[in-house]
Amino acid sequence: MTATTADQIELEPRHAEIVSATLPLIGAHIDEITAEFYRRMFGNHPELLRNLFNRGNQAQGAQQRALAASIATFATHLVDPELPHPAELLSRIGHKHASLGVTADQYPIVHDNLFAAIVAVLGAEVVTDEVAAAWDRVYWIMAQALIDLEHDLYVAAGVSDGEVYRRARVVSRVDDPSGAVLLTLGVAGERFSDSSPGQYVSVGVTMPDGARQLRQYSLVDVVAGGELVLAIKPVGAAGDQPAGEVSSWIAANVFVGDVVDVTVPFGDLPAPAGGRPLILISAGIGITPMISILEFLATQAPNTPVQVLHADHSDQSHPLRQRQRELLTQLPHATLDIWYEDSPTAGQAGVHPGFLTLDGIELPEGAQIYLCGNNGFVQAVRSKLVTRGVAAAHVHCELFSPNDWLV
Ligand SMILES: Cc1cc2nc3c(=O)[nH]c(=O)nc-3n(C[C@H](O)[C@H](O)[C@H](O)COP(=O)(O)OP(=O)(O)OC[C@H]3O[C@@H](n4cnc5c(N)ncnc54)[C@H](O)[C@@H]3O)c2cc1C
Ligand code: HEM
């Protein structure tokens, strides 16, 4: 595992000293550096923005902040190995990269453009040869940790490095009453039966301007024939934010018989340990990994004690509501609590009005907690759990947007 590799590699004291001294300066200019970096990289390699990176994230700056925060966190660990090792951070990035087919030969592209950006923003008189050499070392220690981790993930998935894409045919499409579109995708000659609950795939579609855009979708289920089931909720326009590009396009254009690119599954949510109590907490479309965990429990460990907590705007917007209830009937030790901000059904057994709250919810000692929703929801519930004394190691978060805070 790469964490061990990174643990073994230390910065030489002279590099550590320079990195410590310049971290605040890099930190103070990190947004400018990353903006300049992406501008240069996409100028030199426009195909990366068209066909690999998520241009919605680029427009919003979310991914830029995620990359910047990850390097700063990693550098902080290197100069102070007493701090917790950022294994969780590397794992999340490594799985994301693997699900996009990132390969070792692409790391020099990021390196060269990033370092050119650092010089452009801070000036050559600040970025002396010594400063550049120290940060070069940080970059390559982190890059090598990721390259090794990604290689291990490719080996574990039984594919050559970066060879993750498959052509998948849509074998069924169901329009959920919530607006989510359930697609079942089959890949000729491939069964995805050994994926783990909570994993995701990247789906690639060609947009009207010819760009191939990729997005991640959690597996809701893997059905008997080895086909993948995904639930895609179109992101609507809100205020001055345009509608989501890929989710809206898929909902409007992808039907039975159509072909899309799909990757083999990745994702580091741990598989639930049989017998230990589970708590599944989701909001909105963040329900998808929870449904896959419930599908897994229904067939593999139906006696597991499980508390399901879900938040949504209303029963109309609650994705996979019917399937969630069906699965709970197959789990004799499961309970369900739902919070609707706005719903006449509030008042039914287990249905509460307003926002999800953990007040009055028992959190059994040692329970494994899975959490998924938008960043604000995950952040708020996670801190509540920590306040209630839950060990951070027992809380497994999935985020549907780039992680610029958990790092
Ligand atoms: C691990 C993982 C699992 C996921 N699982 C699921 C799942 O099971 N189901 C599901 O539906 N989704 C899932 N997602 C989310 C999914 O990958 C997409 O992010 C989602 O479908 C939105 O993609 P989009 O192309 O429609 O939106 P994008 O075009 O990427 O837009 C995203 C946001 O950016 C804003 N934006 C875009 N362009 C601009 C601009 N120029 N200016 C300002 N704002 C802009 C949009 O308004 C929108 O709010 C998952 C994500 C991850 C990382
Ligand atoms: C040391 C070098 C690198 C670091 C520190 C890094 C860091 C990150 C981080 C933090 C994320 C966001 C993960 C999340 O979703 O939370 C990310 C995503 C991503 N990375 Fe990297 N990365 C590196 C190298 C590369 C390389 C070489 C490529 C390929 C050219 C690449 C392509 C991507 C892509 C395409 C995404 C997803 C972006 C999106 O969909 O918005 N990265 N990376």
Cβ of residue 30 lying under 6 Å from some atom of ligand 2: no
Catalytic status, residue 107:
yes
Transcribe 75-88 into DSSP letters. HHHHH-TTSPPTHH
Cβ of residue 377 lying under 6 Å from some atom of ligand 1: no
Q: Which of ligand 1's atoms lies nearest the C-alpha of 242?
A: 47
> Please, what are the averages of pLDDT over each run of 10 residues along the chain (407 residues)?
49 93 91 92 94 86 74 88 83 96 97 95 95 95 97 96 97 97 94 90 95 96 92 94 95 98 96 89 98 95 96 96 97 96 74 92 93 93 93 92 60
Task: For 323-347, give one letter per residue: b (16+ CB within 10 A) or e.
Answer: bbeebbeebeebebbbbbeebeebe
Catalytic status, residue 154:
no
Mutate to test the pocket of ligand 1, among 178, 199, 235 (most ligand atoms within 8 A of CB): 235
Which uninterrupted H or E stretch holds 220? strand 212-222
Full-model pTM: 0.95
Strand partners, 373: 399
Mutate to test the pocket of ligand 2, among 57, 97, 397 (most ligand atoms within 8 A of CB): 97
169 in Cβ contact with 225 (< 8 Å): no
* Per-residue tokens: 131: 């400063």
Stated length of the chain? 407
Helix (DSSP H) and strand (DSSP E) numbers for the chain: 13, 12
For the packed helices 13-28 and 129-157, what is the interaxial angle rounded to 10 degrees?
90
Name the residue at shortest CA distance from atom 1 of ligand 2.
Answer: 143
Compute the distance from residue 93 Cα to the ligand 2 centre, in Å. 7
Task: For 65-95, give one letter per residue: b (16+ CB within 10 A) or e.
Answer: bbbbbbbbbbbebbbeeeeeebbbbbbbbbb
**Which residue in 10, 32, 107, 165 is the catalytic one?**
107
Ligand nearest to the Cα of 239, by number = 1
Torsion angle, CA of 370/75/27/124, rounded to 10 degrees?
Answer: -150
Q: Is 310 helix (H, G, I), strand (E, B) or coil?
A: strand
C-alpha to C-alpha distance for 288 and 64, rounded to whole angstroms: 26
Task: For 211-227, give one letter per residue: b (16+ CB within 10 A) or e.
Answer: eebbbbbbbbbbbeeeb
346 in Cβ contact with 315 (< 8 Å): no
SS (H, E, C) 123-165: CCCCCCHHHHHHHHHHHHHHHHHHHHHHHHHHHHHCCCCCCCE
Classify burial at 304, counting beta carbons within 10 Å of its beta carbon; exposed 0-12, middle 13-18, buried 19 or more: buried
Ligand nearest to the Cα of 92, by number = 2
The single residue listed with the structure tokens 């001055």 is 240
Mention every residue, 6+ apart, whose C-beta is less than 8 A from residue 252: none
Cβ of residue 49 lying under 6 Å from some atom of ligand 2: no
* Per-residue tokens: 277: 């109590």
Strand partners, 169: 186, 259
The single residue listed with the structure tokens 């643990």 is 7
**φ/ψ of residue 191, rounded to 5:** -115, 140
pLDDT for 5 equals 47
